[in-house]
């Protein structure tokens, strides 16, 4: 029986060497998970045999289990390289067939799909007008279309709509007076014009019409004779257009004795784009003739300190071309555009399994779902028990090369020892043959 026992030992030791050698061969394979061999002893079935007298008949390969422990994270220069830190797999699509992988080396194909080296498509949630819509995961496709322009004040459903301005207006200033403006007498209060002698401060920012044409809007701040009040005027591209051509300020800001704004914000301004273009002697540009939007002065103060602009921004933008991609830790694929805007193109999803060791290895760093693994539990990164993903990084193989080399020596010793058992049994049999 020693022949049978030793032969089973040789077979299992050989398989253990195979598994170890495969680990060593894949020590540089991105996303590879090391395999470990499990052995079990073998006993002959016996109805009358007592447990104390049983002798085993060898060893059997119980299982080859992959170790889904975390591999080291390494930085790369490709924004579409993605690593998973924690549990989960990327879900891939190959003509409708679904596979799973930990290898996050991705790139774009000619049709804009995010694919791996085997041209399997990375799946995720689609984005509708820049908004992620969780649904059945589908192949992620990057749109190369230009980002359409938005006029200032388009974002009416958001708290950031139109212009936001946060300033400090110096409380020590007085109402402008000059004998050289509008024929006024010495010391008389002058009416506002774009002349610096008729206002206290000014600031400007870009605004956009419905076709994304850039216009310069200038705001003028003029302290009134009423304590704590400032009139706000505006014009566009240096023309006389202010509040759609109407005379007077577009609004008045009022401040309390503590310097905080108490009234006047927000104030609406209407810009007649057609009149602005005509005033400059240019042909009509085809944009919407007029646009109205609010100017929010929340946070503006009147302190006894120099005039300062703390915040001045608006929500419109010109058309833009796609110049790059980035992927956040939440899996959202953001397109970066030449106009400084970002736009969500989709969201990478992860899948996890109750029993990852039940997955069937397909090669090429791919696994498929089985009845043993359980169904895929799909969700966005960082949700439930799913890991965090990181762009411009990859997950290295989790093979411990030093440990595998030691295992190789150990399995070699096991193989030699089982071979020695066969040699010993052969010598015993030879002795029996030589008896006379």
Do residues 214 and 267 share a domain? yes
Kindly give the interhelix angle for 401-433 and 2-25, rounded to the nearest 10 degrees. 160
Tens digits of per-residue pLDDT, 204-226?
999 999 999 999 999 999 999 89
329 in a structural domain: no
Which one is predicted more confidently, 41 or 350?
Answer: 350
Beta bridge partners of 368: 360
pLDDT digit string (tens) for 18-66? 999 999 999 999 999 999 999 888 887 765 555 666 788 888 888 888 9
Count the residues in the chain: 436
Residue 111 lies in a domain: yes
Residue ending a domain, choose from 314, 332, 352: 314
Let me know if residue 326 belongs to a domain. Answer: no
CATH number where 270 lies: 2.60.98.20
Question: Hey, how many other C-beta atoms are within 10 angstroms of the C-beta on 352?
Answer: 19
Same domain membership, residue 184 and residue 293: yes
CA 56 – CA 9 distance, rounded (Å) = 12
**234 and 345 share one domain:** no
Going by pLDDT thresholds of 50, 70 and 90, the confidence category of residue 130 is confident
What's the whole-model pTM score?
A: 0.79
Question: Which phi and psi (to 5°) does residue 37 adopt?
Answer: -90, 135
Q: Which long-range contacts (CB under 8 A, 24 or more apart) does 3-7 make?
A: 3/422, 3/425, 4/57, 4/58, 5/56, 5/57, 5/58, 5/59, 5/421, 6/58, 6/418, 6/419, 6/421, 6/422, 6/425, 7/58, 7/418, 7/422
Q: Is residue 355 part of a domain?
A: yes
Host domain of residue 6:
2-69+398-433
pLDDT on residue 358: 93
Q: Is the pLDDT of residue 182 over 60?
A: no
Q: Is residue 154 part of a domain?
A: no
Task: Assess whether pLDDT exceeds 60 at residue 185.
Answer: no
Angle value at C-alpha 411, between 406 and 416, nearest 5 degrees: 125
The verdict on 309 and 168 lying in the same domain is yes
Residues sharing a CB contact under 8 Å with residue 67, sequence separation 6 or more, in sequence order: 33, 34, 35, 36, 398
Pull the structure tokens for residue 360. Answer: 């069937």
Tokens at 239, concatenated? 């023309």
Do 294 and 200 fall into the same domain?
Answer: yes
Residue 189 DSSP symbol: B
- Lowest pLDDT segment from 179-183, 342-346, 379-383, 416-420: 179-183
State whether 90 and 194 are in the same domain.
Answer: no
The answer to whether residues 62 and 79 belong to one domain is no
The residues, any chain, with a CB within 8 Å of residue 411's CB and separated by 6 or more, are: 13, 16, 17, 20
Report which of 333, 296, 297 is spatially closest to residue 80, judged by C-alpha positions.
333
Within a domain: 93: yes
Interatomic CA distance for residues 296 and 284, integer angstroms:
30
Q: Are residues 193 and 78 in the same domain?
A: no
Q: How far does CA 340 lie from the centroid of its chain?
A: 17
DSSP of 381-415: TTSTT--EEEETEEEPP---HHHHHHHHHHHHHHH
Residues whose CB is less than 8 angstroms from the CB of residue 397 and which lie 6 or more positions away in sequence, other chains included = 26, 27, 28, 29, 30, 31, 32, 33, 34, 71
Mean per-residue pLDDT of the chain: 90
Q: Are residues 174 and 297 in the same domain?
A: yes
The whole-angstrom separation of Cα 11 and Cα 31 is 29
Residue 40: CB atoms within 10 A of its CB come to 10
Predicted confidence at residue 243, as pLDDT, reads 58
Q: What's CA 364's distance to the chain center, in Å?
A: 26
Which tens digit of pLDDT belongs to each residue from 229-283? 999 999 899 886 555 556 689 999 999 999 999 999 999 999 999 888 888 888 8
273 three-state secondary structure: helix
In a domain, 220, yes or no: yes
- Regarding predicted confidence, which is higher, 47 or 301? 301
In a domain, 321, yes or no: no
Residue 76: count of CB within 10 angstroms of its CB? 16
Extract the tokens encoding 297: 């002065």
What pLDDT score does 422 carry? 82
Mind listing the pLDDT tens digit for each residue in 364-407? 999 999 999 999 999 999 998 999 999 999 999 999 999 999 99
The closest alpha carbon to 10, from 423, 414, 432, 425, belongs to 414
pLDDT at 309 > cutoff 90: yes
Query: Do residues 169 and 250 share a domain?
Result: yes
- Which position has the token pair 């209407």? 270
How many structural domains is the chain composed of? 3
DSSP H/E element including 294: strand 290-296
Average pLDDT for residues 341-350, to the nearest whole number?
Answer: 94
Percent of the chain residues past pLDDT 90, beyond the cut: 69
Q: Let me know whether 53 and 131 are in one domain.
A: no
Say whether 279 sits in a helix, a strand or coil: helix
CB atoms within 10 A of CB 400: 15
104 with 232, same domain? no
């Amino acid at each position: 029986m020693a022949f049978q026992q030793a032969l089973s030992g040789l077979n299992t030791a050989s398989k253990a060497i195979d598994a170890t050698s495969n680990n060593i061969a894949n020590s540089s394979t991105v996303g590879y998970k090391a395999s470990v061999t499990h052995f079990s002893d073998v006993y002959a079935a016996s109805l009358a045999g007592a447990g104390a007298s049983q002798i085993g008949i060898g060893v059997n390969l119980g299982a080859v289990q992959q170790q889904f422990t975390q591999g080291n994270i390494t930085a790369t220069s490709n924004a579409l390289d993605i690593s998973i830190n924690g549990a989960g797999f990327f879900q891939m699509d190959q003509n409708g067939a679904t596979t799973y992988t930990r290898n996050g080396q991705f790139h774009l194909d000619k049709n804009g799909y995010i694919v791996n080296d085997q041209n399997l498509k990375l799946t995720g949630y689609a984005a509708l007008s820049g908004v992620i819509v969780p649904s059945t995961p589908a192949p992620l496709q990057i749109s190369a279309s230009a980002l359409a322009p938005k006029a200032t004040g388009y974002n009416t459903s958001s708290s950031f709509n139109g212009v936001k301005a946060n300033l400090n207006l110096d409380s020590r200033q007085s109402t402008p007076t000059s004998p050289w403006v509008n024929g006024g007498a010495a010391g008389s209060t002058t009416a506002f014009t774009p002349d610096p002698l008729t206002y206290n401060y000014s600031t400007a920012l870009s605004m956009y019409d419905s076709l994304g044409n850039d216009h310069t809007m200038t705001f003028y701040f003029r302290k009134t004779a009423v304590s704590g009040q400032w009139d706000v005027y505006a014009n566009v591209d240096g023309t006389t257009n202010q509040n759609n051509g109407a005379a007077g300020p577009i609004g008045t800001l009022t401040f309390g004795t503590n310097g905080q704004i108490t009234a006047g914000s927000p104030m609406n301004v209407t810009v007649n784009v057609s009149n602005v273009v005509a005033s400059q002697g240019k042909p009509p540009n085809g944009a919407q003739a007029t646009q109205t939007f609010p100017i929010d002065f929340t946070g503006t103060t009147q302190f006894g300190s120099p005039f300062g602009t703390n915040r001045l921004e608006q929500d419109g933008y010109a058309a833009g071309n796609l110049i790059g991609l980035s992927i956040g830790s939440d899996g959202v694929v953001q397109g970066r555009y030449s106009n400084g805007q970002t736009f969500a193109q989709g969201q990478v999803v992860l899948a996890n399994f109750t029993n990852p060791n039940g997955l069937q290895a397909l090669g090429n760093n791919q696994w498929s779902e089985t009845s043993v693994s359980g169904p895929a539990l799909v969700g966005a990164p960082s949700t439930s028990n799913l890991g965090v993903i990181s762009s411009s990084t990859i997950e290295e193989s989790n093979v411990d090369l030093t440990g595998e080399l030691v295992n190789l020596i150990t399995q070699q010793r096991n193989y030699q020892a089982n071979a020695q058992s066969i040699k010993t049994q052969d010598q015993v049999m030879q002795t029996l043959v030589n008896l006379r």
